[in-house]
Copies of this chain bind each other. A is one copy, B any other.
């Protein structure tokens, strides 16, 4: 099978133009078929605030009301996504910016109201790998923002990590697929106080040890559980680290395998 790399970048890269430009150059130099997924960063919050839209939080979690969804559609789907596409074109990557509504690529269900009404938030239901592959086969590079749709005309705010892993799982039916989760750290750390203490390899057996020894704790647990879910469902490898890991010139990042 042909190789496909799915790279997710977050706010730390998007919010700093120098970091973004440097990353997009690395991304453009990455050989083979590839997909980029980006979050939105704090830009949406600052624009919402300027527009007089309050960020509503319930139990520490953000609520996407109608006005907030409009800001997210503007910032993630417009400002961030289209600037990334234009910059990739300047790097000779034939990018195409997408939400899940475009070519019906990612359909989701509006999250059901239980204790909390999250508003216009979507949980991914179906990735259309046939349509996404038509773009890849045409030598276009898909750039996804963290927005999906419900198939009935409603856009929905959706977690970028989940979009990444769900696309990867679906694409793994036709490609040898790897995920690169780029974040601010060099990788999963042995010691949170030592940024160089990257755990180079995690597999199912060593993960159990790391959990038992309380080396992997808190928010990192669901992230890595999510990686193992992707691996169990067909993804070949998952990498976690600083954006520079995609060049693999250094080995200072975390590789997760089954």
Contact for A90 among B50, B83, B140, B151, CB less than 8 A = B151
B79→A140 contact, CB < 8 A: no
Known: A51-B51, A103-B94, A140-B103. A77 touches B86 (CB 8 A): no
User: How far, in angstroms, from A83 to B150 measured CA to CA in the complex?
Assistant: 12
Verify if A160 is at the interface (C-beta below 8 Å from B). Answer: no
Within 8 A of B (CB), among A152-207: 152-155
Question: Could you say which of A68-76, A109-117, A209-217 contacts chain B?
Answer: A68-76
Contact for A147 among B52, B73, B82, B98, CB less than 8 A = B82
User: How far, in angstroms, from A152 to B21 measured CA to CA in the complex?
Assistant: 12
B104→A89 contact, CB < 8 A: yes
Between A and B, 5 residue pairs with Cβ closer than 8 Å are A78-B82, A86-B154, A87-B153, A96-B102, A97-B101
Verify if A99 is at the interface (C-beta below 8 Å from B). Answer: yes
Verify if A258 is at the interface (C-beta below 8 Å from B). Answer: no
Chain B residues with Cβ below 8 Å from A99 are 82, 85-86, 97
Verify if A8 is at the interface (C-beta below 8 Å from B). Answer: no
User: How far, in angstroms, from A94 to B43 measured CA to CA in the complex?
Assistant: 30
Chain B residues with Cβ below 8 Å from A135 are 138
A101→B78 contact, CB < 8 A: no
Known A90-B151, A94-B104; further 17 A-B contacts with Cβ < 8 A: A50-B51, A50-B52, A75-B78, A77-B78, A77-B82, A82-B101, A85-B101, A85-B102, A86-B149, A86-B153, A89-B104, A94-B131, A95-B102, A95-B103, A131-B138, A134-B140, A138-B138
Verify if A224 is at the interface (C-beta below 8 Å from B). Answer: no
- Min Cβ gap A166→B in Å is 18
Stoichiometry (number of copies): 2
Chain B residues with Cβ below 8 Å from A97 are 99, 101-102
Chain B residues with Cβ below 8 Å from A73 are 78-79, 82-83
Chain B residues with Cβ below 8 Å from A86 are 99, 101, 149, 153-155
Per-residue interface assignment for chain A, residues 42 to 64, with 1 indicating a CB less than 8 Å from any chain B CB and 0 otherwise: 00000100111000000000000
User: How far, in angstroms, from A103 to B47 measured CA to CA in the complex?
Assistant: 28
User: How far, in angstroms, from A101 to B82 measured CA to CA in the complex?
Assistant: 7
Chain B residues with Cβ below 8 Å from A83 are 73, 155
User: How far, in angstroms, from A89 to B99 measured CA to CA in the complex?
Assistant: 12
